[in-house]
Chains A and B, each alone.
Chain A
């Protein structure tokens, strides 16, 4: 179980199962700090935290790290598997290494930061959260993203922004291809301010916010086209 070293609660994934660890995290008082050691790719670490605590994960984490979080701060000093910060409500999940696919999927709020690369489907179905990736992302980034911001410091894979709703995507590098109904728009001063603030908050210093490519929805899929069938 948890042992207290100075003011940090230390949990050992080599000793405790995932439920024991997550229960111990939920029992922490507001403002507490905890460290999970020997994560070794364990799934579901620091999931469902609903109060302001700070959790440091030592090593690589598995799937759903920091998912469903609200007000908590989760930091991973290694890489993570699929769905880090999935359905985040507020607070943040920060990954020092790389992230697998579906990072920040369906996040309603909060901030997901990846300092390396992220895989396919980054920010899929984003619902108001912000996702910042220092490196590149895989295919189908921001697929069906409804609200929020995805910032990519490197390149984006095929099908970026397919079926976008009202989320905004900024890419510093190359875009392999845009998905259906995604289009490039001119950057406004407000966009630059949003990107600068997000990059600053994420701790990225390699992005020139004035030369980003902005991708949004062309909104051609928004309404049912009653005449479409007549074209066949």
Chain B
């Protein structure tokens, strides 16, 4: 189990509130992943914060509630495939600014990693999710759009996953063919929020009017900033 959280602000007037709105969603995912926490924050460029320990410590240390921006994707980790270290924390970043958080586990990541390494791709960790992130970045660099690149992940990667991906202009989500790992999306007025469980979104202003749904398996959803 791990937790994912994401928030994309489409209304420029609401962008100063990105951190204040995202922090409680992120912190509510702590029971799903108390080992470590991480966040990629998109605004003027992208910055990544990750550390061992609960999400509440990270959000306090970086004063997330005071931060604005266009998009943030966050992860609370319950480690399975590699050690509880800062290197094993999500989000994983590839290319210049492709961020990925992953709830689940890949079973064939060593094979895909060898294939990517043979083409010159290098890795920062032993983590399975980093392999998926490098795979996505490779396809984006080759000219694929985010939806196309994310939609092709099931062709190469086996396992259980909910993947939440961000670039400076987009946020996207994909669930595995069996819908094994959870995700709830809320499309509100001026924002789109994602979490592993609904309760994390329940305090968002305007949630009662938002379009709330669970993405179907293998259905790629993308949203532009």
Partner-B contacts on A (CB < 8 A):
40-43, 59-60, 62-63, 79, 81-82, 100-101, 119-120, 138-139
The reply on B212 being an interface residue by CB < 8 A is: yes
- Among candidates A79, A81, A100, A120, residue contacting B217 with C-beta atoms closer than 8 Å: A120
Q: Which residues of A contact B184 (CB under 8 A)?
A: 81
- Segment with Cβ contacts to A, from B70-78, B92-100, B125-133, B196-204: B196-204
Q: Is there an interface contact between B198 and A62, defined as CB atoms closer than 8 Å?
A: yes
Q: Is there an interface contact between A119 and B199, defined as CB atoms closer than 8 Å?
A: no
Q: Which residues of B contact A59 (CB under 8 A)?
A: 202
- Among candidates A40, A62, A101, residue contacting B203 with C-beta atoms closer than 8 Å: A40
How many residues of B are in contact with the other chain, CB < 8 A? 15
Q: Is there an interface contact between B179 and A119, defined as CB atoms closer than 8 Å?
A: yes
The number of A-B residue pairs with CB atoms under 8 Å apart is 40
Q: Please, which residue of chain B has its CB at the minimum distance from the CB of A157?
A: B216
The reply on B182 being an interface residue by CB < 8 A is: yes
The reply on B138 being an interface residue by CB < 8 A is: no
Q: Which residues of A contact B212 (CB under 8 A)?
A: 79
Cα–Cα, bound, A60→B200 (Å): 12
Q: Is there an interface contact between A43 and B199, defined as CB atoms closer than 8 Å?
A: yes
Q: Please, which residue of chain B has its CB at the minimum distance from the CB of A119?
A: B214
Q: Is there an interface contact between B217 and A40, defined as CB atoms closer than 8 Å?
A: no
Q: Is there an interface contact between B197 and A81, defined as CB atoms closer than 8 Å?
A: yes
Q: Which residues of A contact B216 (CB under 8 A)?
A: 138
Q: Is there an interface contact between A120 and B179, defined as CB atoms closer than 8 Å?
A: yes
A57 to chain B, nearest CB (A): 13
Q: Is there an interface contact between A138 and B179, defined as CB atoms closer than 8 Å?
A: yes
Q: Which residues of B contact A40 (CB under 8 A)?
A: 199, 202-203
Q: Is there an interface contact between A41 and B179, defined as CB atoms closer than 8 Å?
A: no
User: Within residues 194 to 225 of chain B, which ones have a CB less than 8 A from any CB in chain A?
Assistant: 197-203, 212, 214, 216-217
Q: Which residues of A contact B202 (CB under 8 A)?
A: 40-41, 59-60
Cα–Cα, bound, A42→B179 (Å): 21
A44 to chain B, nearest CB (A): 11
